[in-house]
Structure 1
Amino acid sequence: MVGQRYIAILIWGICLAFPTSDKQVHEPYTVQEVHTAPPTWRRIRRATRTEQITLNIGLKHGRASELERQLLEISNPSNPRYRQYFSLDDLHSLSKPPLGAVEQVLAWLSVHGIQQDNLQFSPARDWVTFNTSIQQAESLLGTEYSVYKNGNSLATRALQWSVPSNLQGVIDTIQPTTSFWHLKARDRQQINSTDDSNLNLHAIEAVGPNVGSMGIDMSHLPKDLTPREACNVTAVTPLCLRVLYGTLGYSVQTKEPKHMALVNFLEEFNNRSDLAQFAKTYRPDAIAAAEGFRDLSIAGGINQQSPANPDQLSERLGLEGNLDAEILIGIAHPIPLTAYTVGGPPPPSVSSSSFPENTNEPYLTWLNWLLAQPDSELPSVISSSYGEVEETVPLSYARRVCLAFAQLGLRGVSVITGSGDHGVGHPAHCEKDFLANFPDSCPWVTSVGATKGISPEVVATNPDNGFVSGGGFSRYFPRPFYQEGKNSIDRYLAEIGSLHEKRFDPSGRAFPDVAAQGYRYVTVWNGTTRLVDGTSASAPTFASIIALLNDALAAEGQPAMGFLNPWLYEEGWRAFTDVTEGSNEGCNTTGFPAIEGWDVASGWGTPSFPRLKELALRRRFRLQLPWYLRWKEWW
């Protein structure tokens, strides 16, 4: 009798936890998110109901707050768990959905004719992906899809989406729906110009093949070069950067150093022949590395090695990819380089109703793939030169991408981003509020601003093409703990007083965190030598230095730096040269000024590799125990 009662109670509990199909059918829908199309996107037509779309459902993590807490602990140099990173299996236990959540979503999908055999799950089962028709997606989400156009890019999107009320606490985000995230390469608008183009881009300044070499024999470099001897401020080369930031005298110490990485979006690529030509002039010992770096394709991304065609040349495709790779190899060789090339944007013309729209969500596509890789396949540092104005990214999407960066941090990966190229906002896009950049506004990445000049370095601007190093305050993400205290944000806000009051949120995550050169970089593209500006150059420059720092740590048996910011704000800032001149003007204002200490124009300033190495190696670590012997940490 007791057994029968127990079974009855168990069945009753299961019915409550996993609603029946009939209940799913009648469960009222509630709007989950509304996001208007950005001004640059124009509605073309109603999406054809037979067109296909790939939907990605992000389930809420059962322990999302715990995930972030764990990251803050292992990246805090004052914590005894500092740099004790998680394995892939450890991370899954934190990121998996709550008990019963997957079953609830499966029941909902089943009611709409979407069967489990057609679904793909992430390793932690926190993402569900499937192909469906527009008609079925509209029924599923209680919405309407249309085709929108921005320049040459198309996207099939909805302005809102809904789910049954009982799933509101289960589902984080569903994309593509409201996301009009149109990634921009940071240097696309900042190319030194001599003519115009129909994309309102600045053309590239072509220069001589040996520009910036300063007449120095690259095969027999003296080790006592000074920045004045190595640098031409009108044409910045890897030699200048190695001397300026103190990496020239460092030799990679580990036999098999962990690789560094970059990511390509927007049909960008890294042409090996261009990279080899660049290395021949500016880093002769790295020619083989330039010809043989590892390239990984994600979602159909193609790292093109043939010459660019006329359409690609007009779009400057390959310029960003080459710049990133040439800087990383030029500074950090022989650290191995991996390039992640992610499937491109929607097609450049309105397709027929029978041809599926490309609805690729680039960051999620890349991050979900990367997080599923084994620990041995993860790089120690990643450089990303892409982003968008924060307010154009739906909040649910931004939070989910940001949480993925936190997961990379938990696994010991440093994520480096460029802070943007329009100061506090492009004047044409500002109304009243300053514009933050995403993913720089995510508290789990390290954002890098741009400088120019040598002695001293100042905030980088170029009046000829409108380039201004970016910086500001997030309206999506609150100020993280590592930016609290009197030595950084509060001190800076007190110093500037009421300047630009009410045009930004002083309680938001502030960026950039640091800075590096980002003005008139030498790059080889399409067989010719060019000069470009942008934080697209600053991000891989700083990432290169972190790659070398991780090698120095590995040689001493210490783990990689991982998520950098808590260490940077607590003690690492002492290894940076303060930038106190210039401002990140924008939105028809003077923007934020650079002052002594941390500021919104240049972060903590520019790095000194010898001092970074000294500070990082000063730390000693507890023995890393396997997860099953660290059970007390989970309670």
Structure 2
Amino acid sequence: MLGQRSILASCVALLGAQSALASPQPESPAVGPADGSTVVHASVIFHQPRLEEAETLLLEISNPQSDKFGQYLDRQALEELFAPSEESQRKVLEWLESAGIETKQARLRKASASIEFPATISQMEGLLKTEYQMSHDSRTGKRQLTSSAHIIPKGLEDHVHFVTVTAGAPVEPNKPNLKRRSQPSAVSPLALRDTHTPTDLRNCSLSWTPSCIRDLYGIPLGTEAAPNNSMGIFGYGDAYNQADLDNFWGKYVEFIPQGTAPTVNSINGATAPGPRVDGEQILDLQMAYPIVWPQEVVVFQTPYNNRGGIGNAFLDAVDAEYCTFDGGDDPVLDVTYPIFGGWQGPAMCGTYNVTNVVSISYAPDEKDLTPHYVQRQCTEWMKLALRGVTVLVASGDTGVQGGMGCMLGPGGVTSFSPLFPGSCPYVTAVGATQVDFNGSEAQEVAVYDPKHNFYSGGGFSNVNAQPAYQKEAVAKYFSAHDPKYPEGTYNKSGRAFPDVALLGANVTISDRMEIVVSGGTSAAAPLFGAMINRINDERLLAGKKPIGFLNQILYQHPEVFTDITVNNNPGCGTEGFQAAEGWDPVTGLGSPKFPALRDLLVNLP
């Protein structure tokens, strides 16, 4: 029974408060004027006016009712979509030439909408009407270029976003032609781990083993794996222990051979298997493997980032253009290389191919990132969606208050705190449920565990607008269940999440060679990801493409979900939101009926 102890060994992993509440960055005192003859690497970053067009295209190609359904973009088509206009390119080249910069060495990066080129500091000073100083960065011990604000000439403001200048070797010319943060913080689970071992592992109410989970959702065992369809899991600092995997296979998944392990794509020096940090990765793998088998699993292992940002190292590694898009990674929120005693760099760019499905169980508070950081990364999630990649993200485990607490809104109102990247409309956010028993009757409800402060995360983005695919469902919810909180408590017009919910309480895992029960939306996300990967297997074996971006399809077909209408997600001194008929900000559309979901998605073109 759920009245027994429900121990959460590892919930969705959230970044610590220190990563958001940083000490001031050390000043970089000037050394003196920069040598004008020094050659630097410069980039002109274009505005991307076609973002709205790209979003519209995504909604068309992910809409089963559209003639464009399933026509996801390859890299070349994606580059063409985001390439700056011919007029923008011409104006920028003329501008560079006016400052004496040789444009024959310039290089256009279409997908990142930038032009890179070598130039001397004197040329850049003339181009931008500024003066460069050489300064000393006391944090890294290195010299760096600084300048006053640069000036974009009249007539170019609508074409050029900004310009970056870094010391370094000149870029290679085009072959054919140009056409917080300082304080370290550990990833920590939201609930205490315990070594409680259920007295009867056959009793699913106490311990949801893989066979129990398959029975709950009607998932048959996999029999055939499609080529090139490994499931991707985002790894972040934490690592798995092979002995735990073998222990779990032997006890609960005997059809998986001993020694079975994921392929690890190491990013920027991160390694796995390795020391356990919070047990997150072992949870992800033990949720996913029993469902996707005999399919393979790939872990994209990134190093822990003590500055507050998340996701950019992975996105860089699977998309070379993202490394330079919008000027590159955030110098405050993202790790810079080299690191003393660590990865010497440069950061990996385009090293790995992305999998068709990626599950992410980590999330910082949206408020602890800049709006620019959120929007820039969200654009990249859209680009992956345009390529046909399905991204599942855990929605959070502390209700409406996010990972590090509530916000102070306008007029002193206590505001809810959404999590990112689940608050991006181009990923599928996954909430958590539990199963209550009344005798032999089981009812799936929103997870509600006051003892561990565990409630399904959900709410509304303060940065990203509400996408068209969910407006009707959200409006219907508020027409009957508006909580009537003070204005400023949440952003009613923001991207609403989660989209779906799955079992996230009392799941059985092996952790540090002990059988324990765990949970969190970080269990639910890889579980749903594994279901989608299984469905992709069938589509690929039938000669179809992976299903790709899910949200538009899911909101059109609520009948393939078990509607969750019980419990709420409290926080910030409120009851949060109430689960209700239809979509709600606690469990989304509900939990999937796998046979119905499978039939729907496999039979689409």
Note closer, same or farther for the CA distance 1:100–1:38 as it changes in structure 2 (3 Å cut). Answer: farther
Of 607, 611, 614, the match for 2:592: 607
1:331 aligns to 2:313 (yes or no): no
Note closer, same or farther for the CA distance 1:483–1:120 as it changes in structure 2 (3 Å cut). Answer: same
Between 1 and 2, higher relative CO (CA 8 Å, sep ≥ 6) is seen in 2
Q: Structure 2: which 5+ residue stretches go unaligned?
A: 1-17, 32-40, 119-123, 166-179, 321-348, 409-413, 437-441
Of 172, 195, 198, the match for 1:206: 195
Matches within 5 A, 1:420-459: 420-426=396-402, 428-431=405-408, 432-454=414-436, 455-459=442-446
Note closer, same or farther for the CA distance 1:409–1:558 as it changes in structure 2 (3 Å cut). Answer: same
Matches within 5 A, 1:49-60: 59-60=46-47
Q: Considering only aligned residues, what root-mean-square deviation do their CA atoms show, in Å?
A: 4.4
**Partner Cα separation in structure 1 for residue 313 and residue 483 of structure 2:** 42
Matches within 5 A, 1:225-264: 231-233=204-206, 235-247=207-219, 249-256=220-227, 258-264=229-235
Q: Give how far 1:443 is off.
A: 0.9
Q: Give how far 1:521 is off.
A: 2.9
Q: Deviations over 1:504-538 (max 9, x none)?
A: 12221110000011123333333334433321111
Q: Give how far 1:587 is off.
A: 0.7
Note closer, same or farther for the CA distance 1:497–1:360 as it changes in structure 2 (3 Å cut). Answer: closer
Aligned to 1:12: none
Aligned to 2:482: 497
SS of 2:363's partner is strand
Aligned to 1:226: none
**Partner Cα separation in structure 2 for residue 165 and residue 538 of structure 1:** 51
Matches within 5 A, 1:48-447: 59-61=46-48, 63-99=50-86, 124-126=111-113, 164=152, 169-170=158-159, 188-191=188-191, 193=192, 204-208=193-197, 211=198, 214-215=201-202, 231-233=204-206, 235-247=207-219, 249-256=220-227, 258-265=229-236, 267-288=237-258, 290-291=260-261, 293-298=262-267, 300-306=268-274, 308=275, 316-317=277-278, 319-346=279-306, 362-372=310-320, 377-426=353-402, 428-431=405-408, 432-447=414-429
**Partner Cα separation in structure 1 for residue 417 and residue 434 of structure 2:** 23
Q: Give how far 1:554 is off.
A: 2.2
1:583 aligns to 2:568 (yes or no): yes
SS of 1:286's partner is coil
Q: Deviations over 1:380-411 (max 9, x none)?
A: 21101122222222222211211111111111
Note closer, same or farther for the CA distance 1:128–1:570 as it changes in structure 2 (3 Å cut). Answer: same
**Partner Cα separation in structure 2 for residue 474 and residue 143 of structure 1:** 40
Decide whether the 8 Å contact of 1:143 with 1:161 is kept in 2. no
**Partner Cα separation in structure 1 for residue 28 and residue 429 of structure 2:** 37
Note closer, same or farther for the CA distance 1:214–1:522 as it changes in structure 2 (3 Å cut). Answer: closer
Note closer, same or farther for the CA distance 1:113–1:543 as it changes in structure 2 (3 Å cut). Answer: farther
Decide whether the 8 Å contact of 1:62 with 1:94 is kept in 2. no
Note closer, same or farther for the CA distance 1:365–1:304 as it changes in structure 2 (3 Å cut). Answer: closer
**Partner Cα separation in structure 1 for residue 382 and residue 301 of structure 2:** 21
Aligned to 2:496: 510
Q: Give how far 1:140 is off.
A: 8.6
Q: Give how far 1:46 is off.
A: 2.3
Note closer, same or farther for the CA distance 1:328–1:83 as it changes in structure 2 (3 Å cut). Answer: same
Amino acid of the residue matched to residue 276 of structure 1?
D
**Partner Cα separation in structure 2 for residue 46 and residue 420 of structure 1:** 36
Note closer, same or farther for the CA distance 1:275–1:481 as it changes in structure 2 (3 Å cut). Answer: same
Q: Give how far 1:566 is off.
A: 0.6
Aligned to 1:19: none
Larger proportion of helix: 1
Decide whether the 8 Å contact of 1:552 with 1:613 is kept in 2. no
Note closer, same or farther for the CA distance 1:114–1:391 as it changes in structure 2 (3 Å cut). Answer: farther
**Partner Cα separation in structure 1 for residue 602 and residue 133 of structure 2:** 56
Q: Deviations over 1:547-592 (max 9, x none)?
A: 1111122233222211001100112x21111111100111110000
Q: TM-score, normalised by structure 2?
A: 0.73
**Partner Cα separation in structure 1 for residue 96 and residue 181 of structure 2:** 25
Decide whether the 8 Å contact of 2:483 with 2:577 is kept in 1. no
Decide whether the 8 Å contact of 2:84 with 2:110 is kept in 1. no
Amino acid of the residue matched to residue 311 of structure 2?
Y
Decide whether the 8 Å contact of 1:478 with 1:509 is kept in 2. yes
**Partner Cα separation in structure 2 for residue 581 and residue 143 of structure 1:** 61
Note closer, same or farther for the CA distance 1:505–1:213 as it changes in structure 2 (3 Å cut). Answer: same
Of 18, 24, 27, the match for 1:46: 27
Q: Give how far 1:283 is off.
A: 1.4
Amino acid of the residue matched to residue 67 of structure 1?
A
% identical equivalent positions: 28
Aligned to 2:326: none
Q: Deviations over 1:131-184 (max 9, x none)?
A: 9xxxx99x8999999999xxxxxxx9x9x98764666545668999xx969999
Q: TM-score, normalised by structure 1?
A: 0.70
SS of 2:400's partner is coil
Note closer, same or farther for the CA distance 1:497–1:55 as it changes in structure 2 (3 Å cut). Answer: farther
